[in-house]
Structure 1
């Protein structure tokens, strides 16, 4: 490489003696140009310091290879793992994924959608914030750009949803806890997304079907800081020592992790050993769940299947047309993970 910097596609096409449209066609798909032309371009790439702006190239394409991935908190190991799996599936399908985090802000979520519009993505895989999302703006985006929703299902939006079946997974855990000990009370996470309400309803239904009285415990908090909410709420709850049950089912693992920290601070031993006085279970099989002390009994969501199916559904939308008014939801069953906490 001689080190001469080429500023744009026009300069590069002049250097290699190939027309600007043909150069653009090569960068879109190298095999789409003749072998002799391809050799000229690749020889010039070796000689000159030039790399095209892929986003600019994509602006001139009818359909880009960009896929947007949007999650509420990419720093959360749960959503980080979801994003990683989605990225891998997109790459295997021949697309270029870009991941964004809305940081729990509905306004920032909308800003991300505007950024994605400017990128002209082939499609978007989105785990929306949920309850506080600007639903009308999400709906308009889904009508414009092929979008598949993951994890959080927003009713009324004409986008395919791929996720977990809470009305299968929660009763699975309730039945196990009732069968192996005292029927559980339900430690509820803040209703930040539709999963919160569905899991509470699934718990209530399962308890009633088994002939038990449901007990839902609500604590202060209205954001995504679930560990802190579980910890502070747990200190108050366990400190009163008036629990309706010594078995607690938390609506997600992050809440359970906070609750277990509160129990430790209050010198309450959690687990199934004879000297333990409290059982705690969660939902999601968070990446940290197996490393808590004791390790957390939980429900594992099938995110291998969910992410693969999400990308397959999006590719189908891209290839055969945009989202229709008819939703096509797919729900996967959860799996009981028995560990030491319950």
Structure 2
């Protein structure tokens, strides 16, 4: 016989012949009930096709199985990809991820953290804006909940940080560009949205000086997340004025480089590594589209999966020990050079 849809845990308990407190105990922690009872509950779940309201269960706990994941902008394929990997790692560990985008707005980042408070998350994984973030709001959240930062760091905030070693990755690219052709100019935004940009500029300066070259930095007007448009318009302006002092341009990120490729094409400049080419263009991040540009973009690959898994591991380590880390940890991973036709 068919059954009408079960509306709540009380109805499920009555139909399965198990007390409501025992059913609740099972949903809070299946291992906390006897194996025979657990088997009976799981058979009833299958028989009645019942799915409990996870959020309602969580709201009755002091701590929940919710994990907040906040990224600056899900419209950016870089953050959608790393956010997806963090989300999958949470699901694999039996947690309920809540993925939120701040849509390029530091104010919305603060609002996202405030909304997560009402859900009483077990912990939160945050890719912050950095200097643009409301540091007081992030610090206040850090005081109340386990917080792990990834991708971008904030000094003294969060119990752990996981990201890419920008000094290693940029040096790797500069070394390659110098030995394979002319030393690179560096193209970046004057007002970068992400603190990684500042680290990459400093890494470029240090690497150029170590290789015996004078740094040549060119900054694009504009701010925000329209990197491709800024790269196209400002890159085109520099190219038209012949301001770049070498034929090699290292862009602070792949999205700026994609815009620069568009500008070069519109000006009739051939990009690539060969005697018949006018320019070499390289980027950083291994943006999901970088292998499909024309020509395909030389870049630095960040290890998305390792960063995601380590960030989740740091957070779950705190949750399992029911405590904060005794010392804040910072873990960075090396980037990998991806040589394609653009440089």
Please give the TM-score of this superposition, normalised by the length of structure 1: 0.93
Query: Residue in 2 aligned with 1:217?
Result: 218
SS at match of 1:131: helix
Query: Residue in 2 aligned with 1:119?
Result: 119
Paired with 1:75 and 1:86, the residues of 2 have a C-alpha distance of 16
Paired with 2:328 and 2:39, the residues of 1 have a C-alpha distance of 47
Paired with 1:36 and 1:323, the residues of 2 have a C-alpha distance of 36
Paired with 2:322 and 2:39, the residues of 1 have a C-alpha distance of 36
Change in 2 beyond 3 A, CA 1:127/1:158: closer
Paired with 1:242 and 1:211, the residues of 2 have a C-alpha distance of 21
Tell whether the 8 Å contact from 1:66 to 1:121 is kept in structure 2 after alignment. Answer: yes
CA shift digits 1:273-327 (9 cap, x unpaired): 2211111000111111111111111111122221121111111111224445732
User: For residues 93-108 of structure 1, what are the structure 2 equivalents within 5 Å?
Assistant: 93-108=93-108
CA shift digits 1:148-177 (9 cap, x unpaired): 111001113143111111111111111111
Moved more, 265-274 or 55-64: 55-64
Tell whether the 8 Å contact from 1:158 to 1:324 is kept in structure 2 after alignment. Answer: no
Query: Residue in 2 aligned with 1:298?
Result: 299
Count the aligned residue pairs: 342
Paired with 1:10 and 1:275, the residues of 2 have a C-alpha distance of 75
Paired with 1:104 and 1:322, the residues of 2 have a C-alpha distance of 32
CA shift digits 1:113-149 (9 cap, x unpaired): 1222222222111111222111111111112111111
Tell whether the 8 Å contact from 1:129 to 1:192 is kept in structure 2 after alignment. Answer: yes
Query: Residue in 2 aligned with 1:326?
Result: 327
Paired with 1:332 and 1:34, the residues of 2 have a C-alpha distance of 43
Paired with 1:326 and 1:22, the residues of 2 have a C-alpha distance of 39
Paired with 1:47 and 1:297, the residues of 2 have a C-alpha distance of 55
Moved more, 41-50 or 12-21: 41-50
User: For residues 1-342 of structure 1, what are the structure 2 equivalents within 5 Å?
Assistant: 2-35=2-35, 37-38=37-38, 41-42=41-42, 45=45, 50-189=50-189, 190-324=191-325, 326-342=327-343
Change in 2 beyond 3 A, CA 1:240/1:321: same
CA shift digits 1:206-261 (9 cap, x unpaired): 11122211111111111011111101111211111232111100000010000100
C-alpha displacement of 1:49: 6.8
Q: CA RMSD in A?
A: 2.0
Change in 2 beyond 3 A, CA 1:321/1:25: closer
Change in 2 beyond 3 A, CA 1:22/1:224: same
Change in 2 beyond 3 A, CA 1:14/1:185: same
Listed as ranges, the gaps of 5+ residues in structure 2 are none
C-alpha displacement of 1:12: 3.2
Please give the TM-score of this superposition, normalised by the length of structure 2: 0.93
Tell whether the 8 Å contact from 1:2 to 1:47 is kept in structure 2 after alignment. Answer: no
Tell whether the 8 Å contact from 2:147 to 2:158 is kept in structure 1 after alignment. Answer: no
C-alpha displacement of 1:338: 1.0
Paired with 1:43 and 1:302, the residues of 2 have a C-alpha distance of 41
Change in 2 beyond 3 A, CA 1:26/1:194: same
Change in 2 beyond 3 A, CA 1:316/1:31: closer
SS at match of 2:329: coil
Paired with 1:220 and 1:97, the residues of 2 have a C-alpha distance of 37
